[in-house]
Structure 1
Amino acid sequence: MPRITRILPAVLLLFSFGTTSLWAEDTYQVFILAGQSNMEGKASNELLEHQATDEKTKEFYAEFRKDDKWIERDDVMIKFLNRKGPLTIGYGSPNKTGLELAFGFAMGEAYDEPVLLIKTAWGGHSLYQKFRSPSAGMPSEEVLQEELAQAQKRVQNNNEKRNRNDPLPTMEQIKSEYGISYRAMLGEVDNTLKNAGELFPELKGKKPHIAGFVWFQGFNDMFGDYAPSEYAQNMKHLIHDIRKAWNSPNLPVVIGALGQNGSGEPQANMKKIQDAQFAMNQVPEFAGNVKTIATDEMVDKTAEDLFPGWQDHFEEWKLVGSDRPYHYLGSGIWYSRIGKKMAETMLELKKEASQN
């Protein structure tokens, strides 16, 4: 299909300074989208299909559709683990969609060059452990020994309960889990860029420019004795380490703060993670190149109001939501609002960088 030329008003305003002219025709812009289940995306395609034709909501989705069909952009490509193709719905968890849809559409409008989204997201992975980056080091020996003892006890109890003889975890196995998703993220980005021409013929012969990093994570760090208090320092380490790995000292970073509380107040540990995420806005060296945004204020109020007792009015509920609050109610509207805001914020950071 021909390249889409419709410009989103907010993006046009943000990008009127002409960033696209800074890049040669033989480049493409790369944005890495990383995190856990909410970066995967949990809004069901079935819900999006309904809302895209419902009189109450179809206008919201109009920019993603043409001739009563979902647009497949030929200028924005996406790679999400074993899936790849032109950006459209369905690049969340299986048969679901996430923030990548709205984010990618905005980036496609902002750049003349092709855009590639590389999404690296795995449900349930914490920054404290699996996404832990090298600069954070390992937890103390005391903490690791405590973790080993707990893991061994779980296996022992299971062996006794089920009459099994599974081997007990070792310290090497405990340590191997730290940073496993960070390493997988780097590997996924590296492999995708090395093979981009084969994966996406449109990119053959073009050079990648890693243009930004989007982080949407934090739920699993609410739990445990150490993760909440370490989140801020681990977030700083992560930013430093990805910038070093991708040779981009001022790589723009947008962080989506936890917002599953929606219109309500966050519980204590969620507030700790939110505060740690927003603390990145106060780090002097991150001024102008890192920005945390609130996601709770973009809540889909219709879905939020209908969720209580959803089993009792399921037919009504399934027309507005498709998951639990920890997955932003599976609301395509909520996820898309987040994606749009992340795109606007990314472009603001890039605008600020171009003026310095």
Structure 2
Amino acid sequence: MLRKHLFEELIWGGLAALLVWGGWTSRPGWAQAPESAPLRVFILAGQSNMQGHAQVSTIPAMQWNPQAAPLLKDILGPDGQPRACQRVWISSLGSSDTEKIGRLTVGFGAAGKEPKIGPEYTFGIYIEKHLDGPVLIIKTAWGGKSLHTDFRPPSAGPYEFTPEQLEVLERRGKDVQQIQADRKAASGRFYRLMIDHVRFVLSDIERVCPQYDPAQGYELAGFVWFQGWNDMVDSGTYPHRDQPKGFDEYSRLLGHFIRDVRSDLDCPDLPFVIGVLGVGGPTDRYGPDKQRYKSVHQNFRDAMAAPADWPEFRGNVVAVRTEAYWDMQVAALRERERAILPQVNAIRKRIRAGEIARDEGEQQIAALYDQTFDARELEILRRSVSNAEYHYLGSAGIMAQIGKGFADAMVQLMEKRSPR
């Protein structure tokens, strides 16, 4: 069993610990003899869940997740710390203020006080297991971005406001022409940034991947798209989202996105994995408090997955339904925690008001938790979660499975791909 406080030194050590793990060493320390195989290049793109908000401190909690626990043998090195890949390199843009490059390890998730992982970490680990030769991941991910505007593909045409949207804007006295002009200016901006960064990295691969051998060249090997939240919650762009076909426009846009990426990167058969948004887990297991979201969530997931079944994409596009990796055990514990939160918040309010001493209030809160959970349940709850539900609970156990799921799906597509 992993030590209870396996990563305390990481939490407080910050960058120093990452340097020990080999993520961001100085360039002279990177150099190794080039592998005698073409460099495989994978592009990972999307919004905040592609950035990744799973704090590294949640990795030890994977031992309590039956689905995630088997992955620990591939994630942890002999010293019990998360390992760095030996043949996988990454350029990540959007997850922090500046581009991050280096050998793939933890810390390439979203910026924060503690290093985080996104799908890139285990995607790289399992791609490395499947493939010989060097690998380069180019990750472009920005939080809070939509497909209908921010990542809007060029061939989709301009964003068209619905009559309902225009009516609401006019009723509120808004400058409709200015809003339309602003939307036009914003449309496709992050699509262009994504393509530009891919081209920039490919123009000087050795800057990121010292193992690159120009004589062997490189191959664009696959693309992973993991996005969706900002479209799913947009009732203006998708006014009938709670009805069947309410997200057909998203499917249409995603089809254009796939075609345009392949065209702009001159790779017409580029394997494409769609990471279908799955926060909350399978909708048929939603509890009473989530029933009002059930149809919207399911409709959106089906719309995201739909292009994989279109005849033109069959065999080279696949959808991975990430709901399968949701931690139902932790979700159930959080439901029980919600039942006592009103009492917890009331106690904290009394502490702030000076009605009771802080020590007394904290003892009352601890007693509530002790009455609600046994020691093991409390450990699982507190060590498995580091972010909100819409970020997959900030759970390394969930995120690690997602990355592996993307890698497994990608390998299957690559096996079907015609020799280049």
CA 1:317–1:236: 2 relative to 1, 3 Å: same
Q: Name the structure 1 match of 2:299.
A: 272
Q: Number of paired residues?
A: 321
Alpha-carbon distance in 1 for matches of 2:168, 2:199: 32
Q: In the aligned structure 2, how far is the partner of 1:255 from the partner of 1:140?
A: 25
The correspondence of residues 1-356 of structure 1 with structure 2, limited to 5 A, is: 25=36, 27-48=38-59, 50-51=60-61, 59-67=70-78, 68-81=80-93, 82-94=99-111, 95-140=115-160, 146=166, 149=169, 169=178, 171-203=180-212, 205=214, 207-222=217-232, 223-227=234-238, 228-263=247-282, 264-265=285-286, 267-308=294-335, 309=337, 313=369, 316-354=380-418
Post-superposition Cα deviations, 1:32-77, rounded to whole Å, max 9, x if no partner, equal: 11111111111111222x3378898765322112122221112001
After superposition, give the CA deviation of every residue in 1:208-237 in whole Å (9 maximum; x if it has no partner): 211100011111111133243410100000
Q: Secondary structure at the residue paired with 1:241?
A: helix
Q: Which has the larger radius of gyration?
A: 2
Question: Residue 47 of structure 1 aligns to a residue in which SS?
Answer: helix
- Whether the aligned pair in 2 keeps the contact of 1:147 and 1:174 (CA below 8 Å) is no
Residue 188 of structure 1: how far off its partner (Å): 1.2
Equivalent-residue separation in structure 1 for 2:207 and 2:169 (angstroms): 47
Q: Once the two structures are aligned, what percentage of the paired residues are identical? A: 34
Instruction: Classify 1:322/1:142 alpha carbon distance in 2 versus 1 (closer, same or farther; 3 Å).
Output: closer
Displacement of 1:343 after TM fit? 1.0
Amino acid at match of 1:193: L
Q: State the alpha-carbon separation in 1 of the partners of residues 69 and 271 from structure 2.
A: 33
Q: Quick check: 79-88 or 169-178, which moved more?
A: 169-178
Cα distance in 1 for residues equivalent to 2:248 and 2:312: 21
Q: Secondary structure at the match of 1:71?
A: coil
Moved more, 137-146 or 314-323: 137-146
What is the CA deviation profile of residues 285-312 of structure 1, one whole-angstrom value per residue up to 9, with x for unaligned ones?
A: 1110001121112212232222222666
Deviation at 1:335, TM superposition (A): 1.0
SS in 1 for 2:211: helix
Residue type matched to 1:36 in 2?
Answer: Q
The residue identity in structure 2 corresponding to 1:221 is: D
Classify 1:143/1:186 alpha carbon distance in 2 versus 1 (closer, same or farther; 3 Å).
Answer: farther
Aligned-pair distance for 1:207?
Answer: 2.5
Amino acid at match of 2:276: A
Q: Could you tell me which amino acid in structure 2 is paired with residue 214 of structure 1?
A: V
CA distance in 2, matches of 1:307, 1:153: 43
Contact 2:148–2:159 (Cα < 8 Å) also in 1:
no
* Counterpart Cα distance in 1 of 2:202 and 2:257: 21
Structure 2: state its 5+ residue gaps: 1-34, 94-98, 239-246, 287-292, 345-368, 370-377
Shift of residue 271 of structure 1? 1.8
| 1:94-134 superposed Cα distances (whole Å, 9 cap, x missing partner) | 22111111111111122212111111111110111101000
Q: Residues 305, 193 of structure 1: CA spacing in aligned structure 2 closer, same or farther, 3 A cutoff?
A: same
Distance in structure 2 (CA, Å) of the matches to 1:328 and 1:273: 17
Provide the secondary structure at the position in 1 that maps to 2:383.
coil
Q: Provide the TM-score with structure 1 as the length reference.
A: 0.81
How far does residue 204 in structure 1 lie from its aligned partner after superposition? 5.5
Supply the distance in 1 between the matched residues of 2:227 and 2:251 (Cα, whole angstroms): 13
CA offset digits 1:222-281 (Å, max 9, x no partner): 113324341010000000000001111111101111111214346222222211122113
Structure 1: 5+ residue stretches without partners: 1-23, 156-167
- Counterpart-to-counterpart distance in 2, 1:352 and 1:192: 27
What amino acid maps onto 1:74 in structure 2? Q
Structure 2 CA distance for partners of 1:316 and 1:70, relative to 1, 3 Å: closer
Bigger mean CA deviation after superposition, 193-202 or 86-95: 193-202
